[in-house]
């Protein structure tokens, strides 16, 4: 398949403009100590139907068409960016997870998932989903996405916030990130199940789940749950077979980068074959595999080129899809954000208090873990592309991820200024970082 010079010009021009806009606003947000990812989304939002399309609809449609070679080119770069993002997220989880504070981490993780899950189930049952459900018309998948979106915590966003505040080496940071690891593993399985349930309904459906012709919702849920868990266990088992892989891995950073990318793309492709979401494979590779004789240099290289090009393009495309003029319900969005904050904060607060954390610190933990950031945005994007959620709900989920991330950053910065966080805490502290009272 070949593309014309006009198509090539359109792809390159769209990529250059998107990347430039995303980088400009990301630097601006970073300067004011806000998550750069929000700036990247804003960079795409301004180029989409919300602003550019409102004042110059024909020019916007010509530069960023919804179909054709240019749309396919942007979509491919965005998909690679999403896979690399999930790979890096998985790798970050592996490095931050700690076995210390097991009781605290376990209780917060359970309460932080159970309360939003229960609230999400009640919310889904009582909701008129006619304006929220997407073209796939699967209410069960919609419910799973809503529940996951209410419970998710963003490891990249909250880690960056704590790094900027100088509290990354504290027990507070360690517990927040350890809980987030456990939560996101569970929620990624739920997301994989939701995406798998609607994949067979597509006209171009592909994979084992399509071949099996799963006829009922129960069969679909059972298959995709077992396939997701089994896939994680399989990747984990293969990752422990070190002797054969030692012969394949050289000490050159370029070779190590190539092998990591090959694994990420190959495992993601195998997920598609099984009828699972490809991001689940990229996440599993990052979380469970660690090549022998690999230092930090190869990961630094991958993180640099991914965060410099592919990932900003992905988040800019997210902003490009937002339509705050035609696909935005103000009062529903405000209500959903308040509900999401209440469920997550209450869940984490209860878990922290049951584990013996002081009240003020339990509040700080709860607000920190309320940040949904990148994972919340990825969930919304995947659900929208799969036809699970409508344009209106997609916009609401993205704005929820942005609002909760901004809230977490502002809250922790003020808590540190008031002396409620202790940056010099050590692993030997018998209690979690307590309030300075």
Q: Does any domain span residue 349? A: yes
Question: Is the model's pLDDT at 89 over the cut of 90?
Answer: no
Instruction: State the pLDDT at residue 13.
Output: 95
pTM of the model: 0.77
pLDDT score at 47: 94
Question: How far apart are alpha carbons 161 and 4 in whole angstroms?
Answer: 44
Q: Which band of pLDDT confidence, cut at 50, 70 and 90, is reported for residue 275?
A: confident
Q: Look at 157 and 368; give whichever has higher pLDDT.
A: 368
Of the candidates 366, 378, 352, which has an alpha carbon nearest to the alpha carbon of residue 431?
A: 352
What does the angle CA 351 – CA 353 – CA 356 come to, to the nearest 5 degrees? 115
- 72, part of any domain: no
Spell out the residues 6+ positions from residue 339 whose beta carbon is closer than 8 angstroms to its own: 119, 123, 150
pLDDT at 427 over 50: no
How many Å apart are CA 316 and CA 82, to the nearest integer? 12
The mean pLDDT of the chain is: 80
pLDDT band, residue 213 (cuts 50/70/90): low
Q: What mean pLDDT is predicted for residues 54-82?
A: 91
Is the pLDDT at 426 greater than 50, yes or no? no
Asked if residue 29 is part of any domain, the answer here is no
Predicted confidence at residue 433, as pLDDT, reads 40
Asked if residue 356 belongs to a domain, the reply is yes
Predicted pLDDT at 423? 45
Say how many domains are in the chain: 1
Residue 73 has pLDDT above 90, yes or no: yes
CA–CA separation, 365 vs 181, rounded Å? 15
Q: Is residue 171 part of a domain?
A: yes
Instruction: Please tell me which residue, 145 or 191, carries the higher pLDDT value.
Output: 145
Kindly report which listed range (266-275, 322-331, 355-364, 428-437) carries the lowest average pLDDT score: 428-437
Residue-level pLDDT at 336: 92
Element (H, E) at 243: helix 242-246
- 363-375 pLDDT, tens digit each: 999 998 998 877 7
Q: What is the pLDDT of residues 176-191, one digit of tens each?
A: 877 887 787 787 778 8
Q: How many residues does the chain have?
A: 437
Residues with Cβ within 8 Å of 388's Cβ and at least 6 positions away in sequence, in order, are: 133, 134, 136, 138, 141, 142, 145, 194, 195, 198
Of 76 and 192, the structure prediction assigns the larger pLDDT to: 76
Query: Residue 389: beta bridge partners?
Result: 133
pLDDT at residue 300 in the model:
84
- Inside any domain, residue 7: no
Contacts of 379 (CB under 8 A, 6+ apart): 145, 148, 149, 152, 187, 191, 397
Structure tokens at 89: 């997220």
Pairwise pLDDT comparison (429 vs 320), residue with the higher score: 320
Q: Which domain holds residue 108?
A: 99-242+249-310+330-418
Residue 27 lies in a domain: no
pLDDT at 424: 45
The pLDDT of residue 350: 93
The confidence score (pLDDT) of residue 279 equals 78
Position 295 scores a pLDDT of 52
HSE (CB half, 13 Å, CA atoms) of 414?
A: 11
Per the domain annotation, does 80 fall within a domain? Answer: no
Q: Report the range of poorest mean pLDDT among 103-107, 128-132, 273-277, 413-417.
A: 128-132
């Amino acid at each position: 398949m070949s593309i014309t010079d006009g198509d090539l010009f359109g792809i390159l021009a769209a990529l250059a403009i998107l990347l430039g806009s995303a980088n400009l606003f990301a630097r601006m947000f970073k300067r004011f100590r806000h998550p750069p990812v929000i700036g990247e989304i804003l960079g795409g939002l301004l180029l989409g139907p919300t602003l550019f399309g409102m004042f110059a609809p024909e020019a916007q449609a010509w530069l960023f068409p919804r179909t054709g070679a240019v749309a396919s080119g942007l979509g491919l770069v965005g998909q690679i960016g999403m896979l690399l993002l999930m790979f890096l997220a998985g790798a970050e989880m592996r490095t931050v997870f700690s076995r210390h504070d097991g009781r605290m981490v376990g209780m917060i993780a359970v309460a932080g998932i159970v309360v939003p899950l229960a609230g999400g189930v009640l919310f889904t049952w009582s909701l008129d989903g006619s304006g929220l459900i997407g073209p796939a018309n699967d209410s069960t998948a919609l419910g799973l996405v809503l529940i996951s979106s209410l419970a998710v915590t963003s490891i990249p966003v909250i880690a960056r916030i704590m790094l900027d505040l100088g509290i990354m080496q504290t027990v507070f940071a360690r517990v927040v990130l350890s809980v987030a690891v456990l939560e996101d593993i569970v929620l990624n399985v739920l997301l994989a199940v939701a995406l798998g349930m609607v994949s067979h309904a597509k006209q171009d459906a592909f994979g084992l789940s399509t071949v099996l012709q799963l006829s009922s919702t129960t069969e679909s849920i059972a298959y995709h749950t077992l396939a997701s868990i089994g896939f994680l266990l399989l990747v984990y088992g293969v990752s422990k077979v070190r002797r054969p892989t030692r012969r394949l891995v050289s000490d050159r950073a370029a070779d190590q980068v190539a092998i990591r990318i090959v694994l990420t793309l190959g495992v993601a492709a195998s997920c598609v074959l099984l009828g699972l979401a490809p991001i689940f494979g990229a996440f599993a590779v990052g979380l469970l595999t660690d090549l022998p004789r690999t230092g930090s240099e190869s990961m630094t290289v991958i993180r640099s080129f991914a965060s410099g090009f592919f990932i900003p393009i992905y988040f800019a495309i997210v902003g490009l899809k937002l339509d705050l003029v035609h696909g935005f319900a103000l009062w529903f969005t405000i209500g959903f954000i308040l509900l999401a904050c209440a469920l997550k904060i209450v869940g984490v607060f209860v878990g922290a208090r049951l584990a013996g954390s002081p009240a003020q610190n339990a509040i700080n933990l709860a607000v920190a873990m309320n940040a949904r950031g990148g994972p919340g945005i990825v969930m919304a994007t995947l659900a929208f592309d799969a036809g699970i959620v409508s344009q209106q709900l997609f916009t609401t989920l993205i704005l929820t991820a942005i609002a909760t991330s901004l809230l977490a950053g502002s809250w922790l910065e003020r808590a540190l200024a008031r002396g409620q966080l202790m940056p010099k805490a050590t692993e030997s502290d018998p209690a979690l970082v307590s309030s300075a009272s």
